[in-house]
Chains A and B, each alone.
Chain A
Amino acid sequence: MPRRRKRGQKKSRTPKIGMTMTTGGGDKEDTDRVDRISSLPIDIIRRIHLCLPRVDAVRTSVLSQRWRTIWASHPKIYLNEEDFGAEFSVFRDKDEVDFSKYCDGEKEKRKAFLTYLQKSLDIRHKYFEHVDTFFLQMTVENASAESLVKKWIDFALKKKVKTLHISLKSRYGKRFDLCNIAFIAATLVDLRIEYCQISNCSFILPTLSSLCLVDVFIEDNDFKDLLAGCPGIEQLRITLYSKKLPTMVVSNPTLKLFGLYYPSFNGKVLIESKHLESLEFSFSRKFMWDIEITSRTTVRNLRLRGVNDQDRTLTHFINEFPLLEILVISDCSNLQNLYLSQRNLSSFEIYQVDEVEVRIDAPKLKSLEYTGGLTLFPGIEASKGLEFVRFYLNPEMLNDGWYIWLRNILECFAHAKHLSLICQSEQAIIFPDELAEVLLPTINDLKNLEIRIDSFAATSQQILDGFVWILPGLKTLSLTLGSITKVIEFPQ
């Protein structure tokens, strides 16, 4: 390739020794020292910052004035006392709190963080650029820290922040008293508050789209005011809810997604929002909620986790949403039967359940994923449009019935366009010789199969010998062992 002179360059480029990845070196002549990076556009330098671990990104601010300015005016502000080695303990269980952590060592680190917080705020006032994202996580131990926190929140809100995420505790891991703060912003889109006790705050957030409350304590009136202050809210997520409200009522008309995760008591929620599209519920073993939804026909996505079906109400609950398109069920206990009648259901995922009998009347079903015990899917052949079926096989569940179940699955899903079996060891799919007769007759309809095994122990010959004999109609087999994929085609 002919070499060309670049415009403006005094001499032609010659290959330089040492101009490779890690070693330094460059133009050896000091007079000709050309800065090969600082003149890049700010957007590119910001992208480079995003590719760096934060410690390295912060350090670039001492490279030169330009780098300092670019970093100081970085629209994402991330302040976390954990960077200073302080421990922001997440566990509030009284037995777990180790008060010895609040000895002098911790105090020093927190003090250092506070100083940093103050200095950063002073500097930030110099740069009048907008702030895109503001993240603050710390333990607020005294009045001056509290005043600093408030100043920072005010600053972020004034600078037209779009994403605000605060995670604040007070002494001994207790909730921080977030009070008398005016959350008034015309640009805030995403708000997340963790571990606080919210009281006497005003919320005027016309552009807020997503609100997330984690382990937050808030009185009924304040909660109502909060929701009323977000007229455009589309996503509401509440985690680890612990206040004993008799009934939580959510009625914002713009709400599209509601999620409740791991509430720590039994309760009830009533959602009156008329355009609700997605619902997500995660329960722990102990607590379940009574859920009433007004607008059931608009819900398209439903995710349920940790449901205890001892009352046999899960089937009924799901079928009350007649137009579901995506359904995900996981970690449910006492689940024996699931009879789903869903005319629009397109994707169904079911994880970590024991033996269940799942009957689905879903003519539009395209995709199904499963992991768990020896679950049966009688009647699934009626879902003729099935394209992607994935079974994650768990060899821990191997027992005598396993291979018979596996054969049943192959037969039921033979009509799927792409059936995939994914497992960690070949034991899950190689049929033992002794069972050969029991597993007959062969399954002739299965034409395409994908097998992915996470280990290198098996050979493709073993799979062919031990497994494929039962599929005489097989046309193609995509076999991935470890990280190597082979596609085997069978002559007909």
Chain B
Amino acid sequence: MASSSKTEQKKMLILKSSEEEEFEIEESIAVQSGTIKNMVEDDFTLIPLPNVDTETLIKIIKYMKKHGEKTKSNEKDIEEFDKEFVKKSFTELKELVLAANYLHITSLIDLLCQAFADRIKNKSVKAIREIFGIPNDFTPEEEAEVYEQHKWAHEEGKEHIDHSAY
């Protein structure tokens, strides 16, 4: 690709987590992150990521490595990987989506948002509150008002209407 001069050696970068742990990674794989790409263009090879803790960084590197080797024949393989990748606790998913957002890895952000959406889909409001631990800060009157406003969405049998394209 680029006019590489001497050897076949691939350019490596070092990513540093918020806990100061360092991880080596090929540049060609790391630039799936828009944030890292920008830093590389500014000639950084040691990339400090103060917003990403070590555990999350390890997972993200795993994701980027898998997606970095995408070819036409291993699409199914990557699909399986993605499916397994999102089988994590909500806390982990939250850390991941915040990190992916910070790092501007679009495909990962989409994957994680879809994972959240999949857990919200077709569930009652009560169940969603329970699952995510969302406290109800409405007064009973306010809650009734909001409910009334979108009554049509809360009715039975509306689930089949899918206009998910805006």
Q: Is B164 an interface residue (CB 8 A)?
A: yes
A51 with B152: in contact, given A38-B134, A44-B97, A76-B166 (CB under 8 Å)? no
Are the CB atoms of B166 and A135 closer together than 8 Å?
Answer: yes
- Chain B positions 124-166 with a Cβ under 8 Å from a chain A Cβ: 125, 127-138, 143, 146-147, 149-150, 152-154, 158-159, 161-164, 166
- Chain A positions 1-15 with a Cβ under 8 Å from a chain B Cβ: 1, 3-4, 6-7, 13
Chain B residues with a Cβ under 8 A of chain A: 18-19, 53-55, 58, 73, 87, 89-91, 94-95, 97-98, 101, 109-110, 113-114, 116-123, 125, 127-138, 143, 146-147, 149-150, 152-154, 158-159, 161-164, 166
Which of B89, B113, B143 contacts A19 (CB under 8 A)? B89
Are the CB atoms of A59 and B97 closer together than 8 Å?
Answer: no
Are the CB atoms of A51 and B117 closer together than 8 Å?
Answer: yes
**B149 neighbours in A (Cβ, 8 Å):** 61, 116, 119-120, 123
Q: Which 6 A-B pairs have the closest CB atoms?
A: A51-B117, A36-B90, A58-B153, A53-B162, A47-B113, A37-B132
Given known contacts A48-B116, A55-B158, A64-B136, what 14 new A-B pairs fall within 8 Å (CB)? A21-B119, A35-B133, A35-B135, A36-B91, A36-B132, A40-B98, A53-B161, A58-B153, A60-B120, A62-B150, A64-B135, A78-B163, A83-B152, A485-B73
Are the CB atoms of B120 and A48 closer together than 8 Å?
Answer: yes
Instruction: Compute how far the CA of A63 lies from the CA of B129 in the bound complex, rounded to whole angstroms.
Output: 7
Nearest CB in chain B: distance from A166 CB, A:
15
**B110 neighbours in A (Cβ, 8 Å):** 47, 51
**A36 neighbours in B (Cβ, 8 Å):** 90-91, 94, 132-133
**B143 neighbours in A (Cβ, 8 Å):** 62
A40 with B121: in contact, given A83-B152, A116-B152 (CB under 8 Å)? no
Are the CB atoms of A64 and B138 closer together than 8 Å?
Answer: yes
Q: Is A264 an interface residue (CB 8 A)?
A: no
Chain A residues with a Cβ under 8 A of chain B: 1, 3-4, 6-7, 13, 16, 19-22, 24-27, 33-38, 40-41, 43-44, 47-48, 50-56, 58-65, 67-68, 76, 78, 80, 82-84, 112, 116, 119-120, 123, 133, 135, 485
Are the CB atoms of B89 and A16 closer together than 8 Å?
Answer: yes
**B117 neighbours in A (Cβ, 8 Å):** 48, 51-52, 56
**B152 neighbours in A (Cβ, 8 Å):** 83-84, 112, 116
Majority secondary structure of chain B interface residues (helix, strand, loop or mixed): helix
Nearest CB in chain B: distance from A479 CB, A:
14
Which of A1, A58, A68, A123 contacts B58 (CB under 8 A)? A1
**A56 neighbours in B (Cβ, 8 Å):** 117, 120-123
Are the CB atoms of A50 and B53 closer together than 8 Å?
Answer: no
Are the CB atoms of A58 and B161 closer together than 8 Å?
Answer: no
Which of A24, A44, A82, A119 contacts B113 (CB under 8 A)? A44
14 A–B pairs (Cβ distance < 8 Å), ordered by A? A4-B19, A7-B53, A13-B89, A20-B87, A24-B130, A33-B133, A37-B132, A38-B134, A48-B120, A52-B120, A55-B162, A56-B122, A59-B153, A78-B163
A55 with B161: in contact, given A40-B94, A78-B166, A116-B152 (CB under 8 Å)? yes
Question: Which of B53, B58, B161 has the most chain A CB atoms closer than 10 A to its own CB?
Answer: B161
**A80 neighbours in B (Cβ, 8 Å):** 163
Are the CB atoms of B162 and A59 closer together than 8 Å?
Answer: no
From A20, which residue of chain B is reached at the shortest CB distance? B87
Instruction: Compute how far the CA of A33 lies from the CA of B163 in the bound complex, rounded to whole angstroms.
Output: 34
Are the CB atoms of B163 and A60 closer together than 8 Å?
Answer: no
From A71, which residue of chain B is reached at the shortest CB distance? B150
Instruction: Compute how far the CA of A44 lies from the CA of B97 in the bound complex, rounded to whole angstroms.
Output: 8
**B121 neighbours in A (Cβ, 8 Å):** 52-53, 56
From B142, which residue of chain A is reached at the shortest CB distance? A65
From B88, which residue of chain A is reached at the shortest CB distance? A19
Instruction: Compute how far the CA of A54 lies from the CA of B162 in the bound complex, rounded to whole angstroms.
Output: 6
Nearest CB in chain B: distance from A459 CB, A:
21
Instruction: Compute how far the CA of A53 lies from the CA of B117 in the bound complex, rounded to whole angstroms.
Output: 9
Nearest CB in chain A: distance from B159 CB, A:
6
Instruction: Compute how far the CA of A33 lies from the CA of B90 in the bound complex, rounded to whole angstroms.
Output: 13
Are the CB atoms of A35 and B113 closer together than 8 Å?
Answer: no
Are the CB atoms of B101 and A44 closer together than 8 Å?
Answer: yes
From A109, which residue of chain B is reached at the shortest CB distance? B152
Question: Which of B87, B138, B164 has the most chain A CB atoms closer than 10 A to its own CB?
Answer: B164
A47 with B109: in contact, given A53-B162, A59-B153 (CB under 8 Å)? yes
